[in-house]
Amino acid sequence: MARRKLLDLARPSRQHLLGYILLAPAVLLVGLIVVYPLLMSIDLSLQNVKLPRPGQHAPYTVANYSKLFSSQEFWMACWVTLKLVVTVTIGSLIVGVGSALLVNNRFRGRTLARLAIALPWAVPEIIAVVIFARIFDTSFGLLGWLFIKLGLTDRMIAWVSTPGPAFWAVTMTMIWKGFPFVSIMTLAGLQSIPSDYYAAARVDGANAIQRFRWITLPLLMPVLGVTLVLVVLWVFRDFSIIKTLTEGGPLKATQTLSIMTYDQAFGFFNFGYASAVGVVTLVICIVASLLMLGRGSKAMY
Q: Restricting to residues 161-190, which ones interact with other proteins according to CB under 8 A?
A: 176, 181, 184-185, 188
In the stretch 68-107, what mask flags binding to other proteins with x, by CB under 8 A? ------------------------------xx--xx-x-x
Look at residue 58 and give its three-state secondary structure.
coil
Residue 147 interacts with other proteins (CB under 8 A)?
no
Question: Smaller CB distance to other proteins: residue 45 or 87?
Answer: 45
In the stretch 2-21, what mask flags binding to other proteins with x, by CB under 8 A? ----xx-xx----xx-xxx-
Distance CA 73, CA 284 (A): 17
288: left (phi over 0), alpha (psi -120 to 50) or beta: alpha
Which of 62, 86, 90, 119 is close enough to bind other proteins by CB under 8 A? 119
Residue 160 interacts with other proteins (CB under 8 A)?
no
- CB 252 → other proteins: shortest distance, Å? 16
- CB 25 → other proteins: shortest distance, Å? 5
Distance CA 209, CA 206 (A): 8
Question: Smaller CB distance to other proteins: residue 36 or 69?
Answer: 36
Quickly list H helices, the chain.
2-10, 15-30, 36-45, 63-69, 72-103, 110-117, 125-135, 142-149, 163-191, 195-203, 208-211, 217-237, 240-245, 257-266, 271-299
Residue 229 interacts with other proteins (CB under 8 A)?
yes
The DSSP code sequence of 60-100 is: B-SHHHHHHHT-HHHHHHHHHHHHHHHHHHHHHHHHHHHHH
Give the residues across from 60 on adjacent strands: 47
Residue 237 interacts with other proteins (CB under 8 A)?
yes
In the stretch 202-221, what mask flags binding to other proteins with x, by CB under 8 A? x-------------------
Question: Smaller CB distance to other proteins: residue 10 or 72?
Answer: 10
Look at residue 249 and give its three-state secondary structure.
coil
Residue 271 interacts with other proteins (CB under 8 A)?
yes
The DSSP symbol for 193 reads S
- CB 7 → other proteins: shortest distance, Å? 7
Question: Smaller CB distance to other proteins: residue 253 or 265?
Answer: 265
Distance CA 121, CA 184 (A): 10
- CB 259 → other proteins: shortest distance, Å? 8
- CB 220 → other proteins: shortest distance, Å? 14
- CB 218 → other proteins: shortest distance, Å? 18
Look at residue 47 and give its three-state secondary structure.
strand
CA distances for 293 relative to 57, 178, 260, angstroms: 39, 20, 27
Distance CA 96, CA 182 (A): 5
In the stretch 56-75, what mask flags binding to other proteins with x, by CB under 8 A? --------------------
Residue 120 interacts with other proteins (CB under 8 A)?
yes
Residue 224 interacts with other proteins (CB under 8 A)?
no
Polymer length in residues for the chain: 301
Distance CA 241, CA 51 (A): 26
Question: Residues 25 to 44: which contact other proteins by CB under 8 A?
Answer: 25-27, 29-30, 33-34, 36-38, 40-41, 44
